Amino acid sequence: MNEIGILNTIKNIIGERYIGDDCAYLEDLGIVITQDSLVEDVHFKREWITPYQLGYKSVAVNISDVFASGACPAYITIALSLPNNLSENFVEDFYKGAEAALYGAKIIGGDITGSADKIFISISAVGKTKNRNISSRKNAKPGYIIITKGQFGASAAGLSKLISGDNSSPELIKAHLEPQLDYNFADIIARTVCEPYAMMDTSDGLADALFKIAEAGDVKAVVDYSLIPHPHNVSKDFVLFGGEDYNLIAAIPEKYISCIPGANVLGKIVDYDGVRLDISGQIFREYSELEVFNHFGENNG
Amino acid sequence: MNEIGILNTIKNIIGERYIGDDCAYLEDLGIVITQDSLVEDVHFKREWITPYQLGYKSVAVNISDVFASGACPAYITIALSLPNNLSENFVEDFYKGAEAALYGAKIIGGDITGSADKIFISISAVGKTKNRNISSRKNAKPGYIIITKGQFGASAAGLSKLISGDNSSPELIKAHLEPQLDYNFADIIARTVCEPYAMMDTSDGLADALFKIAEAGDVKAVVDYSLIPHPHNVSKDFVLFGGEDYNLIAAIPEKYISCIPGANVLGKIVDYDGVRLDISGQIFREYSELEVFNHFGENNG
């Protein structure tokens, strides 16, 4: 199956209103909600990740979506489908890891079922939106600056070490298995920026996120590669196209930059001129020109 | 793994407050939330169910939990993990089925990922609680009556026909693949009963639901088997222990019965005397004495 085709199918059925952002924003309830799944042998290999790390990462990827919306993480539900040959210790360690990634949210329920042979995890997260300005990808406007925090490429480099069985860079492997989130960056933006702004996480890579923001807003993103923070031993391909760093990028009016401590300015939003993304002269006109980060050679959603 | 052991593990980690009911009730947000998963070869067989029916049933089992809480279905998110060999038509048909089970809710997002070989579906549903009295299993009190609507045993009988390859009873098979929910029953109770009441769906069987309500309230449920509505061609084992009918049972103060059209009174709640459940003299002291409905001989959560 082809992911773009499927998304178009779904858009035609349910309408575009809630499609596109990391979370759905339910203004009538004052919440955002998101749901992401992790599937064994698609998103993780059981032999590479401990149950604790799996619990941590499964929750973190959902909390990251709540941060990207600008909301405050409040509640999560966890659905686990587990083969019968796992021990009860697996569940206990998984939940301990999950607790370590809550960033203030509470676990309020979920579902445990059997599974034929693979582990399936699906988590929903609810964030509160009161007194916060909620982001949307489509909000980037010409003149806005593009900001971020955190390092890029470490997670993908760590994954490549795991695939090749190279244990020489434990810090990169840890970046892949236990991604650290930055609450303060999103929190300050959502409580400080009073105008529409765009924010998303870089779960599918930095270039992916920049392209999607540019496309959703019908603008162009221009970024200087030399301004992108990354570990010294990580290749440019990993920095730009590697996913799962779970950093945030935002496009905001320039005047707010002084309120956001530690933000790195990567570039700016300009008028669309046939090009969506320009990274130090490397240009991308169509999404298909991006190398999409692909776990184990399969469609990772 | 043993389900009771796992639930105890989880209770120890996250506390009991939100455990036990079909939905978690978030009073601060005015919502209930639930999440349930369906896993291929545990909850369904691909050769028995059409993609439309699978979409319908996956949503219906979650909407049923919202009804059981007394809330009004508002929003759902759908996470699908699909093997690559499925066609785009699968997704379209699945979503059409999902739309047919919304009972007023809107689909607002979700996640599509790959899967090694099995279909994995996890759905979250949000219900609104404004102007409604929300149920809890633990609310049954001596003197309350036990009421329900709908027929029992049809779904389990239909499943047994599917397993044995017997196509002689299409209405039973349809009851299993496309369970019909009854919005009015839950809606009237939640808007009419002003005192605490217990309600849950019979997803794991009628006897299971009666036992769990009795146990949660530390009371005893006494039911007359002859009052339980069921198709004429369905065995007593299916009526009592067969799951997935997705009817609702409620324990409410007797005075409200005249406000609930079409309700069948099955029995009453009395003081606990060492027995939790008495069905026309068949008594159950411990949960382990119930024959738990078990798909394909595996743990179905």
- The ipTM (two decimal places) reads 0.89
Domain, as residue range, for A28 = 22-128
Residue A214 lies in a domain: yes
Task: Please check whether residue A79 touches B, CB under 8 A.
Answer: yes
Shared domain check, B145 and B124: no
Using one digit for the tens of pLDDT, what is the confidence trace for B67-107?
999 999 999 999 999 998 887 789 999 999 999 999 999 99
Helix (H, G, I), strand (E, B) or coil at A214: helix
Task: Please check whether residue B23 touches A, CB under 8 A.
Answer: yes
The nearest CA of chain A is from the CA of B150 a distance in Å of 26
Shared domain check, A121 and A171: no
CB contact under 8 A, A111 and B35: yes
Q: Are B148 and B264 in contact (CB under 8 A)?
A: yes
State which residue of chain A sits closest to B111, comparing Cα positions. A36
Q: Which of B37, B119, B136 to mutate to test the interface with A (most CBs of A within 10 A)?
A: B37
Instruction: List Cβ neighbours of A168 (8 Å cut-off, separation of 6 or more).
Output: A161
Shared domain check, B111 and B190: no
The nearest CA of chain B is from the CA of A228 a distance in Å of 29
| Total Cβ atoms within 10 A of residue B207 | 26
Residue A14 lies in a domain: no
The nearest CA of chain B is from the CA of A295 a distance in Å of 10
* CB nearest to B35's CB, from A42, A99, A109: A109
Structural tokens at position A92 = 């206990």
Q: Please give the interface size between A and B, counted as residue pairs whose CB atoms are below 8 Å apart.
A: 222
CB contact under 8 A, B1 and A41: no
Residue A264 lies in a domain: yes
Shared domain check, A175 and A111: no
Distance CA B235, CA B238 (A): 5
| Residue B55 clears pLDDT 90, i.e. is over it | yes
* CB nearest to A107's CB, from B9, B14, B39: B14
CB contact under 8 A, A120 and B39: yes
* CB nearest to A113's CB, from B19, B42, B99: B42
Amino acid of residue B191 = R
In chain B, which residues have their Cβ closer than 8 Å to the Cβ of A30?
29
Q: What is the pLDDT of residue B61?
A: 96
Q: What is the pLDDT of residue A62?
A: 96
Task: Please check whether residue A27 touches B, CB under 8 A.
Answer: no
Q: Greater confidence, B18 or A42?
A: A42
* CB nearest to B81's CB, from A2, A37, A92: A37
Task: Please check whether residue B9 touches A, CB under 8 A.
Answer: yes
In chain A, which residues have their Cβ closer than 8 Å to the Cβ of B117?
118
Shared domain check, A273 and A211: yes
**Crossing angle for the helix pair B170-177 and B154-164, to the nearest 10 degrees:** 110
What CATH number should be reported for the domain holding residue B102?
3.30.1330.10
Q: What is the pLDDT of residue B20?
A: 67
Q: What is the pLDDT of residue B88?
A: 76
Residue B63 lies in a domain: yes
Q: What is the pLDDT of residue A15?
A: 60
Residue A17 lies in a domain: no
Shared domain check, B191 and B116: no
Residue B77 lies in a domain: yes
The nearest CA of chain B is from the CA of A104 a distance in Å of 13
Residue B16 lies in a domain: no
Per-residue pLDDT of chain A (301 residues; tens, 9 = 90+): 566 666 677 777 666 666 667 899 999 999 999 999 999 999 999 999 999 999 999 999 999 999 999 999 999 999 999 998 887 789 999 999 999 999 999 999 878 899 989 999 999 999 999 999 999 999 999 999 999 999 999 999 999 999 999 999 999 999 999 999 999 999 999 999 999 999 999 999 999 999 999 999 999 999 999 999 999 989 999 999 999 999 999 999 999 999 999 999 999 999 999 999 999 999 999 998 886 544 434 333 3
CB contact under 8 A, B31 and A30: no
Task: Please check whether residue B124 touches A, CB under 8 A.
Answer: yes
Shared domain check, A158 and A26: no
Whole-angstrom CA distances from B49 to A49, B63, B85, B110, B171 are: 35, 19, 17, 22, 14
| Residue B40 clears pLDDT 90, i.e. is over it | yes
Shared domain check, A170 and A114: no
State which residue of chain A sits closest to B35, comparing Cα positions. A110
Shared domain check, A153 and A64: no
Shared domain check, B176 and B76: no
> pLDDT class for B290, splitting at 50, 70, 90?
confident
Distance CA A275, CA B301 (A): 51
> pLDDT class for B294, splitting at 50, 70, 90?
very low
* CB nearest to A301's CB, from B30, B91, B114: B114
Chain B residues 212-251 within an 8 A CB cutoff of chain A: none
Considering Cα of B112, then B118, then B119, then B125, what sign does the dihedral take?
negative
Instruction: List Cβ neighbours of B76 (8 Å cut-off, separation of 6 or more).
Output: B59, B62, B63, B98, B102, B105, B106, B107, B108, B123, B124, B125, B126
Q: Are A66 and A127 in contact (CB under 8 A)?
A: yes
Using one digit for the tens of pLDDT, what is the confidence trace for B125-142?
999 999 999 999 999 999
What CATH number should be reported for the domain holding residue B185?
3.90.650.10
Residue A8 lies in a domain: no
The nearest CA of chain A is from the CA of B143 a distance in Å of 31
Look at residues B128, B153, B188 and tell me which one is the last residue of a structural domain.
B128
* CB nearest to A77's CB, from B5, B41, B124: B124
Shared domain check, A115 and A52: yes
DSSP assignment, residue B288?
G
* CB nearest to A79's CB, from B1, B35, B118: B35
Q: What is the pLDDT of residue B292?
A: 53
CB contact under 8 A, A13 and B92: yes
CB contact under 8 A, B114 and A42: yes
In chain B, which residues have their Cβ closer than 8 Å to the Cβ of A91?
1, 6, 9-10
Q: What is the pLDDT of residue B297?
A: 41
Look at residues A84, A111, A128 and tell me which one is the last residue of a structural domain.
A128
Mean pLDDT computed over every residue of chain B: 91
Shared domain check, A144 and A106: no
The nearest CA of chain A is from the CA of B4 a distance in Å of 10
Look at residues A75, A110, A128 and tell me which one is the last residue of a structural domain.
A128
CB contact under 8 A, A37 and B9: no
Q: What is the pLDDT of residue A264?
A: 97
Overall number of domains in chain A: 2
Q: Are B71 and B91 in contact (CB under 8 A)?
A: no
* CB nearest to B39's CB, from A5, A109, A114: A114
Whole-angstrom CA distances from A31 to A181, B74, B297 are: 20, 13, 40
